[in-house]
Amino acid sequence: MKRIFLYISLLMLSAILGYIIFRMKPDQEKKVLTVDTEYAYVMKDDAIGTFMMYVSDETHDICNENRYMRMILEDKDKETKIELSLLDIEIGHEEYYLKEAYVKVFISFDIPIMTEDIVFDDAYLTLELTDQQSYEVRLGRVTFFKDAHDEQGLNWTSLSGIKQSNDLRSRIYEITVSCDGVTEEIEKIDVGSKHLTTFSLDQQNLIITIEDADYLLYDVPIVITFVNGERQVIANFRYIIDYVILKESGPMINVYTLD
């Protein structure tokens, strides 16, 4: 009987010690991650843009659109700045970084309308919350293109894209635009990157090759400028869908602590 009582006492003591150790264990630090990305959008009525981040605690106010006061996009030098109108925050899938779990968070906003193209070459997003907390995170590069209303010199039918061979990053390397021919000579093509793009054309396909850079690039418009000065815009298209971006992005990841 004494032995049974001893066993019970030891079990109770172990449970109490385990509970005390668990309570003494510090909470995991809350973090938000961003990955250097090239974001490019066309400025037109009712257009919606989306930025991406990863958060370790989806119950944090940074994941609740009702807790936002302002959202400001600006360049690192603070000389170019615009306030964005937040539309929605959506929670996506889970990924891991350095053995810690993060949920992917999509921040949707109204595309601003301006009279000229605007580029945030080293873009930062400031998130001001109602609890007087403010977080500034690096996005990468953000470009807003003005819409085009010129004649359509390219009659295209489908779009597709691929990564560069052996490159695991979520970065588009080559876009194929299937078409029925071109009525005007093309001068240049831009997909939002300030890096060089080259292209080749036959009667069936326009092949656009994008120079490498240390940014993700997966959802872009195609802006075609013709020799006669007219411009044609093919709207944003998601060429790559990845579910292990954090695993493959390495030094492009920016880490911030949440209060």
Domains parsed from the chain with CATH numbers: 31-147+243-257 (2.60.40), 154-238 (2.60.40)
The whole-number pLDDT of residue 79 equals: 81
Distance of CA 33 to the CA centre of its chain: 11
- Alpha-carbon gap, residue 256 to 243, rounded angstroms: 21
The whole-number pLDDT of residue 195 equals: 74
The whole-number pLDDT of residue 188 equals: 93
pLDDT, block means (10 residues), the chain with 259 residues:
55 58 59 97 94 97 95 90 96 96 97 92 96 94 89 88 93 94 87 86 90 94 92 93 93 95
| 3-class state of residue 91 by DSSP | strand
| 200, 185 Cβ separation under 8 angstroms | no
| 221, 175 Cβ separation under 8 angstroms | no
| 127, 71 Cβ separation under 8 angstroms | yes
pTM: 0.85
Strand partners, 231: 225
Query: How many residues comprise the chain?
Result: 259
* Residue closest to 107 by CA, chosen among 123, 89, 93: 89
Token pair listed for 220? 């872009």
Token pair listed for 121? 């070459």
The whole-number pLDDT of residue 24 equals: 45
